[in-house]
Amino acid sequence: MSDPHCIFCKIVEGKIPSKKVYEDEEILAFHDIHPWAPVHFLLIPKEHITSMTHVEERHAPMLGRMMALVPKLAAQEGCRPYPEGGFRVVCNTGGDGGQEVPHLHFHVIGGPRPWLKG
């Protein structure tokens, strides 16, 4: 399922280019076009899920796989190892939560500080 008006769905479909970090049948990770830190990529489900509020029980296995990918991809993209290094995972939900794109996504942000935001 996709939304023809959603920018992330268009990225999934290849209609808008992205610098991919990872891809499988259900998940896509790509670099943020306006990074806040030396490492900043987005991890999204390929299925259009509007926000964290719209997550259903059936999404649990896919979301678990997404979270299990985070440390591997963070290291791959240049985050230093824990505990000195590390990264941040952020999921904005709704207007009050700062969500700008209505497609569930997780920001993975890391690298040496200071960062531009956050």
Residue 118 is assigned to a structural domain of this protein: no
User: Greater confidence, 117 or 89?
Assistant: 89
Its domain, for residue 50, covers 7-110
Residue 103 is assigned to a structural domain of this protein: yes
Q: Would you please indicate which residues are annotated as catalytic (active-site) residues? A: 105
Give tens-digit pLDDT for 11-52.
999 999 999 999 999 999 999 999 999 999 999 999 999 999
Residue 104 is assigned to a structural domain of this protein: yes
CB crowding 35-66: b at 16 or more within 10 Å, else e: bbbebbbbbbbbbbbbbbeebeeebeebbeeb
Residue 53 is assigned to a structural domain of this protein: yes
Give tens-digit pLDDT for 54-103.
999 999 999 999 999 999 999 999 999 999 999 999 999 999 999 999 99
Report the number of distinct structural domains present in the chain.
1
The CATH number of residue 71's host domain is 3.30.428.10
Instruction: Examine the pLDDT at 118 and tell me if it is beyond 90.
Output: no
Residue 115 is assigned to a structural domain of this protein: no
